[in-house]
Amino acid sequence: METETGTGTDRELDAERNHAKQHDSETGRNYDREEERITGSEALLRLLLAEGVDCVFGYPGGNALHIYDAMTGNPAFRHLLTRHEQGAVHAADGYARSTGKIGVCIATSGPGATNLVTGIATAYMDSVPMVIITANVPTTVMGTDAFQEADIVSMTMPITKHSYAVRDVRDLPRIVREAFHLAGSGRKGPVLIDIPKDVSNHRMLFQPADAEVRLRGYDPMPAVDPDAVGELLAAIAEAERPVIIAGGGVVYADASAELLAFVERTRMPVATTLLGLGGFPSGHELWLGMPGHHGAYTPNMAIQNADLLIAIGSRFDDRVTMKLDGFAPKAKRIAHIDIDPAEIGKNVRTDIACLGDIKDVLRAANEAAEKSDRFEPWIAELQRSKAEYPLRYRDSETELKPQYVIEMIHETTKGEAIMTTDVGQHQMWTAQFYAFRHPRSLITSGGMGTMGFGFPAAIGAQMGHPGRLVVSVNGDGGMQMCAQEMAVCAVHNLPVKIVVINNQVLGMVKQQQELMYERRYSQIDLAGSPDFVKLAEAYGIKGLRASNKADARQAWREALDTPGPVLVEFMVPTDENVYPMVLGGTTLDQMIMGE
């Protein structure tokens, strides 16, 4: 008669012992199998540590309790308890973007898992490597509408690279190894592992998965085609007005050094997208600025007048191209360097496709590219344009302008901080007026535009860089979507400097209603928002406020001089807008320049 052990049957364990013996005979290994009988939860923690995970962000619940119970017996496993599951997934995202490692978060079933969906979609849109672990109801009650049951695998299939539903605890080592391989290879992205409660408590004879992963049909690193690189270099040799658009793919491929070498060898000017900021040094003479919807005048006009356009790790999203019919109309040829073949020709015609890892493609190009000074007249024209049409705003001695605040933060940090932003006007002001010198120094939600992202992402970035200055820039709207995570900074004394640009309104929505809806303002007034200084103090964090230049500089200096977390609220005018701006349905050269 088969006897239940409470964690798997004797028959299952006998089968697993035979499997282990067969594996030993094939590999020459010899384990004391009785000592290796552990639960799926204990195996999960071991597997995460073996993948190099040094911090997991999460929130427990009933169906995840076996996993959380295993943590009490594993002092090497580090877990950060956030105050909301969305805080956990955004923190893991910020950790991944800032370090280049794979971010990991854990949540329980039902609402715990569904609270992760926005963060998973955010990571998917921006190609961020993450492994998301969700608990689920026991397999014995699946499909019965059990308490806190949700089919999170089906829900997240469109927003993950892959999703795993674990049904046999013996599959866990293979699944975890595959999940990390998928998340961190090729075009990176989130992978979900869903573990039912009973499976997390089944016992297994622990055996790590093979280091090498073989997935049929998955070829994440296509070989660089030397003919395509040669075609690209030939097009450069024929061009007179080339422009490079460098996107987030340059940062994620750790290819900033190769891009710099490519640019200095070919002497081609560079525009960097929002996610590409820092991928090419902002102080370089050939850097034009950020193009697109709120891009600067010179990069937008350069794109419109270029005869050769080279996109590197940029997917030609609509905030960069704006009206497609009229984008880069003078470009005789458009080249696209990307690791994902699905992006080639998806939005914009591609004449030259260089498929492969961006670092490898640029290395191949650098080996064959010839030095030239034939673009100097074009460069001189663009430099005159930058001098004539710089980013500007109407400063004030009576009001505190948000652009001034960002300039002040840049000046005092010398461009060396890790900056995270939420989404809105403050995000664009940060992109415009903070000069990013290094890759992975801007952490922001690009494709999804997720409010509530910025502050939890700063917590993740600070955990990944305990010795770095991390500044989180937020609006008064987005800050209220994640303010509870101030408890995490207070409890762990994480020295994040929290900036709230408070204009008492949903600023980006207001700006669009002003310019596109004839000033018909609807549901944008944030009256009744908390006193952010008092709110910070309620969490045990120092709070400061400023509404003029002198107070702003004093408060910010105090924040920088204070060990531990500090919140600084900067009161700015309600009617300040972000310019330049390209309205939807218009082309890049139809910019509204503002004042």
- From 303, 288, 298, select the one nearest 241 (Cα to Cα): 303
Q: Is 2 among the catalytic positions?
A: no
What does the alpha-carbon distance between residue 246 and residue 312 come to, in Å, rounded to a whole number?
5
Among 36, 142, 148, 484, the active-site one is 148
Q: Is the pLDDT of residue 29 over 50?
A: no
Neighbours of 416 (CB within 10 A): 11
Q: Is the pLDDT of residue 524 over 80?
A: yes
What lies within 8 Å, CB to CB, of 376 at 6+ separation is 267
pLDDT score, position 7? 40
The residue length of the chain stands at 595
Collapsed DSSP state (helix, strand, coil) of residue 255:
coil
- From 218, 138, 148, 208, select the one nearest 173 (Cα to Cα): 208
Q: Is 425 among the catalytic positions?
A: no
Q: Is 161 among the catalytic positions?
A: no
What lies within 8 Å, CB to CB, of 227 at 6+ separation is none
Q: How confident is the model at residue 16 (pLDDT cuts 50, 70, 90)?
A: low
What does the alpha-carbon distance between residue 17 and residue 552 come to, in Å, rounded to a whole number?
67
Q: Is the pLDDT of residue 205 over 70?
A: yes
Q: Is 197 among the catalytic positions?
A: yes
What does the alpha-carbon distance between residue 270 and residue 242 come to, in Å, rounded to a whole number?
9
CATH 3.40.50.1220 in the chain is located at 226-389
Q: What is the pLDDT of residues 337-348, one digit of tens each?
A: 999 999 999 999
Among 16, 130, 180, 197, the active-site one is 197
Higher pLDDT, 16 or 211: 211
Among 204, 428, 508, 571, the active-site one is 508
The yes or no reply on domain 37-205 and CATH 3.30.70.580 is no
**Residue 69 CA: distances (Å) to CA of 113, 230, 395, 410:** 19, 57, 56, 44
pLDDT score, position 24? 45
The yes or no reply on domain 402-579 and CATH 3.40.1110.10 is no
Q: Which two tokens stand for residue 14?
A: 């006998």
Backbone phi, psi, residue 296, to 5°: -75, 165
What does the alpha-carbon distance between residue 314 and residue 327 come to, in Å, rounded to a whole number?
15
Among 22, 147, 221, 516, the active-site one is 147
* Cβ 213 vs Cβ 162: under 8 Å: no
**What CATH number was assigned to the domain covering residues 226-389?**
3.40.50.1220
CATH 3.40.50.970 in the chain is located at 37-205, 402-579
pLDDT score, position 33? 45
Q: What mean pLDDT comes out for the span 213-242?
A: 94
Collapsed DSSP state (helix, strand, coil) of residue 382:
helix
Q: Is 221 among the catalytic positions?
A: no
What does the alpha-carbon distance between residue 470 and residue 460 come to, in Å, rounded to a whole number?
10
Among 12, 42, 51, 85, the active-site one is 85
Q: How confident is the model at residue 3 (pLDDT cuts 50, 70, 90)?
A: very low
Q: How confident is the model at residue 30 (pLDDT cuts 50, 70, 90)?
A: very low
Q: What is the pLDDT of residues 128-171, one digit of tens each?
A: 999 999 999 999 999 999 999 999 999 999 999 999 999 999 99
**Reported pTM:** 0.93
Q: Is the pLDDT of residue 28 over 90?
A: no
Q: How confident is the model at residue 221 (pLDDT cuts 50, 70, 90)?
A: confident
- Give the mean pLDDT of the chain: 93
Q: Is the pLDDT of residue 20 over 60?
A: no
